[in-house]
Each structure stands twice: as C-alpha cells, then as structure tokens.
Amino acid sequence: MISTGSIAEIQALISQFKSAGKKIGFVPTMGALHQGHLSLVATAKETVDIVVCSIYVNPTQFNNQDDLKQYPRNIDADKNLLAENGCDLLFLPSDEVMYAGRNTIKFEFGDLDRVMEGKFRPGHFSGVALIVSKFFNIVLPNCAFFGQKDLQQLTIIKKLVEELFFNLEIISVPIKREHHGLAMSSRNERLSKEEREEAKIFYKALSEAKAILKEGQSAVAAKEKVNSLLSNHKAQLEYFEIVSDKDLLPKTENYLAPDTVLCIAGFMGNVRLIDNMYLNEN
C-alpha cells in the first residue's frame, strides 16, 4: 500500500493506473476503522482494480467542536488494517492541504438536509458535500463506496453527484452490526462496555417498529412503540422517522414499498448514535 498526503502525488499515481486501463474505486473514511469500513474496502476490491482510501477527519462537517476534538483517531492501526485488507493507495491529507485557510463554499440540498440529521446538525451536510466534492475532484474515481448506516449522507451524496455531473457511480454497502445488533461506528469506541451493551436498544427499537408496520399497523403505532421503549431507558431518543430513501420525507402510506426506511438517532451517555433499517430487509 502506498500512502501519501500530497494531492500531486496521489493524482500522479492514479493517472498512471488509469493510463494502464485500471478501474479506480474510492472509499473515503474519517479513520477509527472497524469492520463496517473494511466491508466497504472488500466490496471495492470485488468491483474495481485499484482501491483508493482516504483518512481525514473533516472539520467543516462538525457543528460541535467538542465532538471534533473527541473524535477517535487511530492512524497507525488504521493504516495497518487498510494494508492488510487490500487498499492500494491511501490519501492522508492535512487540514492545510484540504482547506489552505479557505472555507467559504456552502451547499444546500433543500428538504434533504433540513430533516433528521440536518435538523439536529445544522451545516453538517454542507461540510460533507464540500469535502466529498474535493475528494472526487482529486481522485476522479470510477466509483465510490459509502455505507448504508449514514443513509441521509448517502442520499445527499447521490444528489451531489447528479447535480454537479460527477462522472462516477455511488455504491451503497449494507450496515455491519455487532453481535447484539448495534450498528458499527467509530463513535462506538467512546462507549463504555456497559453503554455499548445498553446501546442495542436502538436496534431493538427499529426491529420492533419494523414488525409493527409489517403487521399492517400505522406509523403512529410504530412511533409509540419506539417512544415507549426509549422512555424508561438510559438512551435518549433524538428522533425516529419512517421515510422514503428517495427524498427522506415522512411516509404516510404504502409502508411496504421497497423505498421505506426506518431511521433513528439518539444519545447513549454523551455519544450520539444513528441507525436505520429498511422495512423489507431480512
């Protein structure tokens, strides 16, 4: 695995591979890697010739500076994991490389970034869109791989690619879960052993709400069940929504359609967690 923090160097290497007819796949990460990230790399290995990964904790997508400071960073372990799992090129830029004192461009996505995560994390998706645009322009991949866990991010990135005519394919990779159902996340490292066990309530809430809807009951009944489960629990519910994955707007009918997805977010201690589940997934 070749590692560099230089835009010029990684572009030169990618140009060489493209000249040789190689297909380029890109997996952007913020590090603190887990099996969820590695599933993105594995899917990329099956799809393309050259896998390019990045590790960069992007400051513009954090609306809470304490969250940015506390975000886990395990760069040496991450590099070893990527090398062991088939990453060919690793891009490790600094803030100076990615922003050079400039941070003026803002993105808006209409209703897509005003609901759920956008409602509770203002400015977050503008920062995501900015850094992803920069990476796409640097790497120029044939396809890029994103996890389903960040469903709203995935939807917004697809919109970004469509609107700005990026010539690449976005490939979604299913959520990887711990043994008790908790969605794998870098933020899980900040949970105590007890909190990690307690956090399975989010998966339980999604599963029980899904069962209610599949029985033909209403969204109101599903939301009441989720609120009931979380009301006397150590976890704090921030939102639970039943939406279409196309526009992220609440669904009021036709819940059994393939686009229906249940989304949840909340806190376990001082760690914010998100998760989602398609109604028709196994």
Question: Which residue in 37, 124, 179, 180 is the catalytic one?
Answer: 37
What CA–CA distances, in Å, run from 217 to 98, 239, 273?
Answer: 49, 20, 27
- Establish whether 37 is an annotated binding residue: yes
Which residue, chain included where needed, has tokens 């969820």?
A: 36
- Angle formed at CA 38 by CA 34 and CA 41, multiple of 5 degrees: 150
- Establish whether 150 is an annotated binding residue: yes
- Establish whether 266 is an annotated binding residue: no
- Establish whether 116 is an annotated binding residue: no
Structure tokens belonging to residue 242: 């039943």
37 is catalytic: yes
| Amino acid type, 176 | K
User: What's the rounded Cα separation, in Å, for the pair 245 and 247?
Assistant: 6
- Establish whether 184 is an annotated binding residue: yes
User: What's the rounded Cα separation, in Å, for the pair 161 and 85?
Assistant: 27
- Establish whether 11 is an annotated binding residue: no
- Angle formed at CA 153 by CA 151 and CA 154, multiple of 5 degrees: 65
**Which residue(s) pair with 144 in the sheet?**
26, 170
- Establish whether 153 is an annotated binding residue: yes
- Please check whether residue 276 is in contact with residue 262, taking contact to mean a CB–CB distance below 8 angstroms: yes
- Establish whether 149 is an annotated binding residue: yes
- Establish whether 21 is an annotated binding residue: no
- Establish whether 231 is an annotated binding residue: no
- Establish whether 33 is an annotated binding residue: yes
Quickly list DSSP for 143-186: EEEEEGGGHHHHHHHHHHHHHHT---EEEEEPPPB-TTSPBP-G
- Establish whether 34 is an annotated binding residue: yes
> Which backbone phi and psi does 199 adopt, to 5 degrees?
-70, -10
Determine the distance from the C-alpha atom of residue 244 to the mean position of all C-alpha atoms in its chain, rounded to a whole number.
17
Report the run of H or E that residue 130 belongs to, with start and end: helix 124-139
- Establish whether 236 is an annotated binding residue: no
- CA within 13 Å, CB half, 225: 19
- Please check whether residue 88 is in contact with residue 124, taking contact to mean a CB–CB distance below 8 angstroms: no
Q: Which residues are annotated as a binding site for ATP?
A: 30-37, 147-150, 184-187
* Known binding-site positions for (R)-pantoate: 61, 153
Residues in binding site: 30-37, 61, 147-150, 153, 184-187
Q: Known binding site for beta-alanine: residues?
A: 61
Residues labelled as active-site residues: 37
